[in-house]
C-alpha cells in the first residue's frame, strides 16, 4: 500500500544529520540500503540531479526491478536536463517512465507568488502517487537531503502532506555525503552543479508564461555552449541579468563572447543584457523580499 498522506516517517533533526553523529559514509550508505529495502518497492521522483540520481542508483541496486524512476516533463524543465535524465536512467539500468506535467496550468503557480514551489510539488507528487497506485508500487520518494532541513521549503510541505518519503534525509545524508558516495559509485553527477527549475529565474510577482520560460531556456543554452558551468539568466522584463562565477568575468566580457551573447539574447527579445557583478549565487531573486519570506520560500533546487 502507498504511503498514507500525513503518515509519520522518521524525522531527522539537524544535529542528527551532521558528521559528528555518523562519520562513516559507509554506515550512512548501509542505513539507506536498509531503509530502501524495507520499502519493498519504490518510485523515485527523478530529475537527473545529484540527489535523485544517487537515490535511484541505490534503489535499483537494492530492489532491482521493483525500483523505478519517474520524470515529469514540463515547460520549466529544460531539454538538456531531460536528455541527461534519460541517459542516466539508461546507464543505471533502471526502469524509467516519462509523464507529462504542466505546472503553468496549476492555479496559483504562474502568478509566481512565494508559494510557487508548493503548487509545483503538489502537482508533481500527485501525478507520481496516482501512477504508483496504478503500478502497485508501495512508496514514492524524493531526493531531499539533510541540508534542505536548514530552511522551511514549501515543496517539502507538499511532500509531507501527500506521504512522499525522503530516504536521504532518513539516512542522515548531507549534500556532501551524497556527492562523495556518488563519486564512489562512479555516478557522473557527483560533481554536477546545482540547478533549479526555470521558474526561479523570475522575480516574485512576475507572471511566468511558457514563452518567457522558453526565452530564458534559449539564453541559458547559449551560455552552456560557451562552456560556462555555473550560471543563471534572470528575467526582468526587457532586461536579461546574467549571473556567472567571478572567475568567468574576464571570459564573458571578452569581445567575441560578449558580442555573441548580446546578439543571441537580443534575438530572444531582450533589449538590455547586463552582467551582475556580484556573480552567481543561488536564490538571488530572494534578496528583494523580507528575511521571514526568504526563510519560508527559498527557491528549491532540482534534486
Nine-digit cell string for 168: 536521504
Closest CA to 109 of 158, 68, 64: 158
pLDDT of residue 285: 57
pLDDT of residue 162: 94
pLDDT of residue 284: 54
Q: Select the CATH number that applies to the domain covering 198-281 from these four: 3.40.50, 3.30.70, 1.10.3470, 3.30.450.
A: 3.30.70
Domain ranges within the chain, ordered by starting residue:
14-191, 198-281
pLDDT for 130-156, tens place per residue?
A: 999 999 999 999 999 999 887 657 888
pLDDT of residue 60: 98
- The pTM score is 0.85
Mean pLDDT of the chain: 89
Give percent of the chain above pLDDT 70.
Answer: 85
CB neighbour burial string for 265-297, b if at least 16 within 10 angstroms, e if fewer: beebebeebebeeebbebbbbbeebeeeebebb
Q: What distance in Å separates the CA atoms of residue 12 and residue 9, rounded to the nearest whole number? A: 10
pLDDT for 19-64, tens place per residue?
A: 544 468 999 999 999 999 999 999 999 999 999 999 999 999 999 9
pLDDT of residue 216: 98
pLDDT of residue 20: 46
pLDDT of residue 194: 86
Burial class (CB in 10 A: 0-12, 13-18, 19+), 238: exposed
pLDDT of residue 297: 37
For the chain, residues with pLDDT lower than 50 are 1-16, 20-22, 290-298
Closest CA to 141 of 64, 61, 32: 32
Kindly report the CATH class assigned to 14-191: alpha beta
Q: Do 198-281 and 14-191 fall under one CATH topology?
A: no
Amino acid at each position: 500500500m502507498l504511503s498514507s498522506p500525513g503518515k509519520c516517517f522518521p524525522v531527522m533533526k539537524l544535529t542528527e544529520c551532521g558528521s559528528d553523529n555518523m562519520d562513516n559514509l559507509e554506515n550512512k550508505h548501509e542505513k539507506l540500503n536498509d531503509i530502501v529495502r524495507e520499502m519493498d518497492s519504490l518510485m523515485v521522483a527523478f530529475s537527473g540531479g545529484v540527489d535523485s540520481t544517487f537515490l535511484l542508483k541505490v534503489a535499483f541496486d537494492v530492489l532491482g526491478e521493483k525500483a523505478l524512476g519517474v520524470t515529469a516533463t514540463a515547460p520549466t524543465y529544460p531539454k538538456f536536463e531531460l536528455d541527461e535524465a534519460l541517459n542516466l536512467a539508461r546507464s543505471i539500468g533502471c526502469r524509467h517512465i516519462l509523464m507529462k506535467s504542466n505546472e503553468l496550468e496549476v492555479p496559483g503557480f504562474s502568478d509566481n507568488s512565494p508559494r510557487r514551489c508548493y503548487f509545483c510539488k503538489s502537482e508533481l507528487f500527485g501525478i507520481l502517487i496516482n501512477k504508483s497506485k496504478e503500478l502497485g508500487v508501495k512508496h514514492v520518494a524524493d531526493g531531499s537531503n539533510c541540508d534542505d532541513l536548514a530552511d522551511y521549503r514549501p515543496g517539502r510541505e507538499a511532500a509531507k502532506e501527500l506521504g512522499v518519503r525522503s530516504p536521504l534525509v532518513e539516512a542522515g545524508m548531507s549534500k556532501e555525503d551524497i556527492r562523495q558516495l556518488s563519486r564512489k559509485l562512479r555516478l557522473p553527477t557527483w560533481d554536477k552543479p546545482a540547478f533549479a527549475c526555470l521558474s526561479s529565474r523570475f522575480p516574485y510577482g512576475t507572471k511566468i508564461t511558457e514563452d518567457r520560460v522558453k526565452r530564458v531556456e534559449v539564453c541559458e543554452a547559449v551560455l552552456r555552449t560557451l562552456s560556462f558551468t555555473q550560471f543563471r539568466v534572470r528575467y526582468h522584463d526587457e532586461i536579461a541579468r546574467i549571473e556567472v562565477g567571478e572567475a568567468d568575468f574576464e571570459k564573458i566580457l571578452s569581445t567575441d563572447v560578449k558580442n555573441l551573447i548580446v546578439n543571441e539574447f537580443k534575438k530572444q527579445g531582450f533589449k538590455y543584457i547586463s552582467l551582475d557583478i556580484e556573480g552567481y549565487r543561488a536564490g538571488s531573486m530572494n534578496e528583494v523580499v523580507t528575511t521571514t519570506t526568504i526563510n519560508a520560500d527559498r527557491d528549491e533546487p532540482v534534486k
